[in-house]
Structure formats: structure tokens, C-alpha cells
Chain A
Amino acid sequence: MSLASAVVAPRLEFRNLTVDFGATRALNAITASIQPGEIVGLLGHNGAGKTTLFNVVAGANPATSGTFLLGYEEISQKITPREIASKGVTVLYQDPALTGNLSVLDNLYLAQLAPFSRPDRAQAAAALERVGSDLDLDQLVDTLSLGERQLVALARGLLGKDMKVLLLDEPTAALGLKETEALHSLIRKFAKEGVAVVYVSHRLPDILQVCQRIIILSAGEIVADGPVTDYDARKLARALAPGLLEVERSELVLGQALLSVKHAGTPLSFREGEVVGLFGMAGGEQFAILERLFGLKGKYSTVLSGLLLEVSNPLSAMKQGIHLVPADREKDGLISGMSAAENTFLPWYRTIAGRGWWVSRDTGNADYDSARERLNILGPTRASTIDQFSGGNRQKHLIARWMFVKRPKILLLAQPTQGVDVGAKADIVRAVRAMAAQGTIVIVASAESDEIASICDRSYILFHDHVRERTAAKGFDEQLLADLLDLAQPQPHSQPDLLQKN
């Protein structure tokens, strides 16, 4: 149990581990060791090498040179994911790879090494119990929540063997607060039992809360390694993206254009030149307001600078200069399989490219290059499929589509920096604020207070029919959350509400 006494070998050790992809060096001579019971936070930009490091340990990707050890055992280059799993290495992804139309029990036994291992109900139940779950073994995985599915994936790592190493790749990205806390206490429990844990997350507070030690990767190398007490959130952000701090808020220059929207009888106003937030609960009214403005809820009319503004569908909204960056970039935004350039220009081929009659490989070349520069997009060329870019750079393409090809009069952004790394976030914030400063009405809807705080000059806080307004000031982030909690309190004179039952 004791940590790192001299005679105990580290649980996981990297010795000069290097991985090349063609001419690109993804990992460069990584040397580090992790003791049993240690929880290590692994941080770095998209593309810093975190996923590659995980893939090497998981047996999905061989090292080019160097090696890693599990305990005293040096792991051969040719090991398969199943063999490594049988040695006690478990990887937990944001969305665990389970088969939805099979039962929990079947899923637990799917990846077993012996091809005909018969499911042992008692063993399965015991594994589930160890992860603190009382799921029915015969329940279909399709009917489980994301958090529950992660528990099944964790239980799979405990089946008939000891868990030695646990790798967590963004496990909480799509989890609610309660599920996140449950997962964290489980991680701590495993660590107490001697499991070495490596935790990757974009949520810095999570890392600070759970980890004892933090390793920062940058461009395939370890640039910082130390106990968590050396860092706080601000220091971490700085280590991850040197040069990024608070948004610079220069004096606001408000323009003439003024958009008025009514929410449950309360007028909300948005001015050219400022970035205004709509903050509320996850899946709350703030997103519905954006959808109405973009014509997704049928005919909708409002007032822009005293004139009637009418939209009936996305096309009619676009024709009036209203652009929407949707919250879910993969589901609602990008077209997988089409090129980066096509993904950027698709809505605009009717105005460029000979009005849509001649789309050549060079269509929009100059626009693409300048958008790429302004948003600092990294990755392969414009002709590569969008799938070949990393998450943050895919998000930047989505933003480029709605910001730079045709200038919007009103720019609607739903969680524009969700799930992107700190560096990409800074690029996006900068571009959005620059656009507002040049005279565009910008509205940002989000359920994350820090996102609103980092982009907006002012924000409305929405909870059902209740509205509050805040201007950016010191502690904006905390103030937004406090306001929302305040609004969410049962009101003495409001009609009976589900909330009052609590």
C-alpha cells in the first residue's frame, strides 16, 4: 500500500517512449513513472500526444522506439488490446465502446480473451458491485445512461482479474455534476486499492479536485511534472496556453443596430458592437431563443433597429444576415466525409462559385486562407476531409463557415467553445470579440458560466420565465452562477412548480 518505497517497482513506467507517424513525431522520448495508488492528471492541447500515449498503453498503437513497463514486465511491441486488457489495464473513454442491443452481462463478457468463456453471473455481479452499481445484468445497454455505461465499462476491467492501471480519456465531458462526483469518488477508491490512474480532461477543476500530480504534454514532450499543490486553475491555464489570460475588454463602441427579443414578456436587447450572453441551465430556454431567431421554430418575427424582422426557416434567416453556430458540431454542424473547404463554403455556394454553377477546387481559396489565419486553424490542407482535423480545429471550421465567408449582421453562437482545448478557445474568443467590435450583433447561449464569462460583455440569466441581467465585472463567472441559483429558488408567489416539491 505504501507509496513509492524504493523496492516497489512503479506500476507504469515509460522509458524513452517515442512514436512517429510518418515524418511527424507524436511523442518524443517520454520518460515517466507512475506508482500504484497515484492519480495523475495528464494535460495538453489537442494534438499534444495524450491520445497517442493512451493508445500505446492500450496496445492500439506500437511505439516507434523506447518502451513501457507494467510493474517489472516490459511490454512487447506486438501486444494486442485484448492481451493488455488481460494484464489489468483498463481504458475508459467519454463514450465507452459497448454494444447497445446486448445485455449488461453480455457486454461484460464480450471482450474476454477466451473465446467461449461462459458468462458467470456471480462474477459479473461482484464486478458491478465493486464499481458501486446495482444494475440489472439482463438490462439492455441501450437503456442505460452515459454514466451507467461507463460503470459497465469499468466493471469489465475488474472481471476475474485485478485492475492495475486505469486510463481515463475525457470521461466526464458529457456527464452531469452528480455523475461526475460519483465517478471521482470511484477513481479515488480504486487508487486507494493500489490502481495507478492517469486522467485526461479538459475540465481543469476536475483535474485539480482528483489528481495528486499533474503532467503537462506539449508537442509530444513532457513540459511540466509536479504535485497538484504546485498548480491552481489559473496557473494551469497559463501552463497550457502561455499568453492566455483574461479577455481584454477594451472600451465598448456600440453601434446603431439594436435587436429586441421578447422572452416570456421580458424584452431582451442586443446591440451591435457588444457580445451578449444568454445563460441558463443545460438544455434551457437560451438555446430555444437562438433557434427561434434562426427560423427553426417556424415563422418568427421580432424587431431589428425599429424594423420588422421576419424569419421562417434557416435559409430565410441566412438571407437576412442571421447566422447560427449550432451547439453540437458533429451532429448539427459538420458533414463528415466532405472536405474542410466544402464544410466551410457549403451554405455560400449560391452566392460565390458562379452562383453555384461552377464550384472548383479553388472556390473560396482566398477566403479560406484568411479565415484559417484569423482563427489560427492547424492541420492538413483545405482539400482534406474535415474528419482529419482535431476537435478544436473542426470547431474552428464551423465557426469560420458562419463568420468569415459572409459577414453576419447577427451572429448566434451556441456553446461555441465547448469541448475544445484552452488554446483553441482563446482563438475563438478573440475572433468572436473582434467580429463584434467591427459591428455585428453577437449572442452567445451557453449552460457554462465560464464560457459566458470569457466571451461576453453582458449577459442575461434565464430560468423558465425569469430573467436577470448582468454586466461583466470582476467575478462575472461566479455572479452568473449565483444569479441562476437564485432564480431557480422556488418563488413564494409563483404558481405551483415541480421545484417546490423538493
Chain B
Amino acid sequence: MSNKNSLALFAARNGIFMALIVLVAFFSLLNKNFLTFGNAENIILQSAELGIVAIPLAFLLISGSVDLSIGAVASAAAVTSGLVMAATQNTLLGIGAGLALGLVAGAINGFLVSYVKLNPIVVTLGFLSIWAGYAQLVTSGRTVQRSSLPEDFRSLGTASIGPVPLQIVLLAIVVVLGWYVLNRTRFGKETLAIGGNEKAAYLMGVSVQLRRFQIFIASGVAASITGMLLTAKVQSASPVIGTGMELAALTVVLLGGIAFEGGIGRISGVVAGLLFFKVLNNGLVFLQASAFLQTILVGATLVIAVALDSTIQEVVKKARRQILQRVTPKSDITTTAR
């Protein structure tokens, strides 16, 4: 009985890693060009932008909140920086403007959710519409063309540090930073505590509102970075450049085993979820699936991820309860988020 529980617990917590391996094996069997170094690098390169927003989103979910405006904020930051650069030909000024927009967007979300205590789903859904509308409004719905962007900004799209593309370096920084903050700092432990039991966290002197506000700002800034990275990659700033990103990011995070009800999560899971999602996309391209079918699959994966999330939480809870009923539990089962 105890072994069955430990096994269920293990499977629930590590399912995404196994699923990733199965998926890679599946596509490799179907197409021998799939499992190549070039394609692997390609997948990671394509994961970068999504990964950069998924990590802060994971923190939000862990703290028991959510941000649905990230795609729209990415678009808004992309066109803002694009327009500023088109007007001034100053790359730094443009990037600064994009970052500032992300900061402001995150701060507004954070203020309304954390201090005014409005529902995060409703608030960020509202701002999804607001920032998407803003992006269309300031550009009159037109893309800021390649020719109006300064040369050195465009070169960022293909820049690399040593042999490693810039996007991958940024992704690596965000992932390592995310892991460090969640597992090795007071900030991370307090984030887990807030999601696990907000009242208890407050009674331990945790500044619950400030923490949540800070995470929302991180989410906004990350979204703006992503928007600008995408701009540099496609060499033009489209007002719909980030559309749908919130769904993709949410899928990744939920696939990664972050509990929608908060308090639980690991960065390694998010990374596995990210790779799973992108491998699925990439594999479908190899199978020459229609782009519309891919959109349907993103939605389906999100629903499956939510279903998995609730199943996983059930299994974990049940296993914990049964472990608890034992007189002296085994000490090697650690269900802590780590």
C-alpha cells in the first residue's frame, strides 16, 4: 500500500518528464530528421520567448494568482519600442520605453489585484483587452516596418554570445534566476507560503501584498522583453505579435505541474512543460500538420493540462493523507515543491 502511494506520488510529480521523453521518442520514430542537434537547438531557440514569460507566470500561479494580459503587454511593449525607435532611431531609448511599458502594466495589475484585492482573472483579462487595443490604436493597426527600425536593434534578432544565441542566453538566465529565487531565497519560500496558506503567511510577518505586487511587475517586465525579442526576431513590430501567448504560457506552466490553486511548483517542471509544448509544435510541423490544427492542439493541450493538474493535486493530496495516517511515515518521501 505504501509503495503504491509513493509510486503514485512519484508519477504525479514527474509525469511531465516521462511524457516529454515519450513524445520525443514518438516523433523520432516517425521522422528520422527529428532527433538531430540542429532541430534540438531550433526547438530551444523557439522556446526562449515563451519560457521567459512562463517563469514569472509560474511564480504568480504558485502565489495563487494569474496574469492573462502577458500576450497583450508583449504586443504593447513591442509596438511602443518600435514606434519610439522609428521616431528617434535610438535603440536604447526604444528598449527603455518597452521595458517601462511592461513595468507600468505589471504595476497596474499588481496594484489592482494585490492592494485593491480585485479578482486577478478578471483584472488581467480586462487588461488583455486594454493593451491589445492600445497596440492597435497607437499603430492604427499597422506593423512598424523593418525599414524604420534601427540597424543595431535588428541585429539583436540574430545576435549570439559566443556560439549561443542571445534568446537562449536570456532564457537560461531567467530559468536559473527563477530556480534560485524559488528554492534558495526568502522571496521564493514566501511565495510558496502565500500560495499554500495566505493567512498563515501574513501571521508570520510575510508582506503578502508586496510580494504579489512584485511578482506582477516581474511578469509585466518579462512580457515586454518577450515582445521586443519577438520584434527583433521577425524584424518588425506587429500590434498582434504577442496574441495568444498567455494561453501558451498557461499551458506550459500547468503542464509543468504548477498547481492552479497555488502553493506547489518546481521550475524544472516548467522547463519540461515548455519543452513538451514546443516539441509538440515542432513535431507537428515535421508531420506537416495544418497551422489551424496546431491552434486547436494548443487549446486541447491547455484543457488536458488543467485536467492533469487537478488529477495530480488529487493524487498528491490522497497519497499525503494516507502517508499521514501511518504511524511513522517513511522519511524519504518529500512532497515539498523543490
Q: Count how many chain B residues have C-beta atoms less than 8 Å from C-beta atoms of the other chain.
A: 41
- Tell me if A334 counts as interface (CB < 8 A to partner B): yes
Q: How far is the CA of A496 from the CA of B201 in the complex (A)?
A: 42
B2 partner residues in chain A, CB cutoff 8 A: 21-22
Q: Nearest-CB distance from A409 to chain B (Å)?
A: 15
Are B190 and A47 in touch, CB under 8 angstroms? no
Q: Nearest-CB distance from B26 to chain A (Å)?
A: 33
- Tell me if B336 counts as interface (CB < 8 A to partner A): yes
Q: Which of A61, A337, A346, A349 contacts B263 (CB 8 A)?
A: A337
- Residues A346 and B189 in contact in the complex (CB < 8 Å), given A380-B329, A385-B335, A388-B324: yes
What is the size category of the interface that chain A forms with chain B?
Answer: 35 or more
Q: How far is the CA of A335 from the CA of B206 in the complex (A)?
A: 13
A294 partner residues in chain B, CB cutoff 8 A: 203
Q: Mark A368-382, 1 if CB is under 8 A from B, else 0.
A: 000000000001110
Q: Mark A143-183, 1 if CB is under 8 A from B, else 0.
A: 00000000000000000000000000000000000000000
Are A381 and B331 in touch, CB under 8 angstroms? yes
Are A338 and B205 in touch, CB under 8 angstroms? no
Q: How far is the CA of A51 from the CA of B193 in the complex (A)?
A: 29
Are A315 and B205 in touch, CB under 8 angstroms? yes
Q: How far is the CA of A334 from the CA of B196 in the complex (A)?
A: 9
**Closest A residue, CB atoms, query B197:** A335
Q: Which of B185, B326, B336 contacts A342 (CB 8 A)?
A: B336
Q: Mark A356-375, 1 if CB is under 8 A from B, else 0.
A: 11111000000000000000
A359 partner residues in chain B, CB cutoff 8 A: 183-186, 188-189
- Residues A338 and B192 in contact in the complex (CB < 8 Å), given A333-B203, A385-B334, A387-B320: yes
Are A333 and B200 in touch, CB under 8 angstroms? yes
Q: Which of B187, B192, B207, B328 contacts A24 (CB 8 A)?
A: B328
Q: How far is the CA of A401 from the CA of B323 in the complex (A)?
A: 24
Q: Which of B72-106 contact A (CB under 8 A)?
A: none
Are A353 and B186 in touch, CB under 8 angstroms? yes
- Residues A335 and B333 in contact in the complex (CB < 8 Å), given A47-B328, A356-B186: no
Q: Which of A296, A346, A349, A388 contacts B320 (CB 8 A)?
A: A388
- Tell me if B204 counts as interface (CB < 8 A to partner A): yes
Are B186 and A337 in touch, CB under 8 angstroms? no
Are B201 and A24 in touch, CB under 8 angstroms? no
Q: Which of B189-216 contact A (CB under 8 A)?
A: 189-190, 192-193, 196-197, 199-207
Are B204 and A347 in touch, CB under 8 angstroms? yes
- Tell me if B142 counts as interface (CB < 8 A to partner A): no
Are B327 and A26 in touch, CB under 8 angstroms? yes
Q: Which of A24, A336, A347, A384 contacts B333 (CB 8 A)?
A: A384
- Tell me if B161 counts as interface (CB < 8 A to partner A): no
Q: Which of A49, A337, A384 contacts B337 (CB 8 A)?
A: A337
- Residues A336 and B189 in contact in the complex (CB < 8 Å), given A21-B2, A22-B2: no
Q: Which of A21, A296, A349, A385 contacts B328 (CB 8 A)?
A: A21
Q: How far is the CA of A55 from the CA of B1 in the complex (A)?
A: 13
- Tell me if A324 counts as interface (CB < 8 A to partner B): yes
**Closest B residue, CB atoms, query A402:** B204
B324 partner residues in chain A, CB cutoff 8 A: 387-388, 390
Are B206 and A346 in touch, CB under 8 angstroms? yes
**Closest A residue, CB atoms, query B187:** A356
B323 partner residues in chain A, CB cutoff 8 A: 387-388
Are A335 and B263 in touch, CB under 8 angstroms? yes
Are B334 and A356 in touch, CB under 8 angstroms? no
Q: Mark A31-55, 1 if CB is under 8 A from B, else 0.
A: 0000000000000000101011001
Q: How far is the CA of A314 from the CA of B324 in the complex (A)?
A: 31
Are B329 and A335 in touch, CB under 8 angstroms? no
Q: Nearest-CB distance from A53 to chain B (Å)?
A: 11
Are B205 and A318 in touch, CB under 8 angstroms? yes
- Tell me if B57 counts as interface (CB < 8 A to partner A): no
Are A336 and B197 in touch, CB under 8 angstroms? yes
Q: Which of A327-360 contact B (CB under 8 A)?
A: 331-339, 342, 346-347, 349-350, 353, 355-360
Query: Contact residues of B with A, CB < 8 Å?
Result: 1-2, 183-190, 192-193, 196-197, 199-207, 263-264, 320-321, 323-331, 333-337
Apart from the given pairs A337-B336, A388-B324, 7 other A-B contacts in the complex at a CB distance below 8 Å? A21-B2, A26-B326, A314-B202, A331-B200, A333-B200, A358-B184, A388-B329
Some 9 contacts from A to B, beta carbons below 8 A apart, are: A52-B326, A52-B327, A55-B325, A334-B197, A335-B200, A336-B263, A384-B334, A385-B320, A388-B333
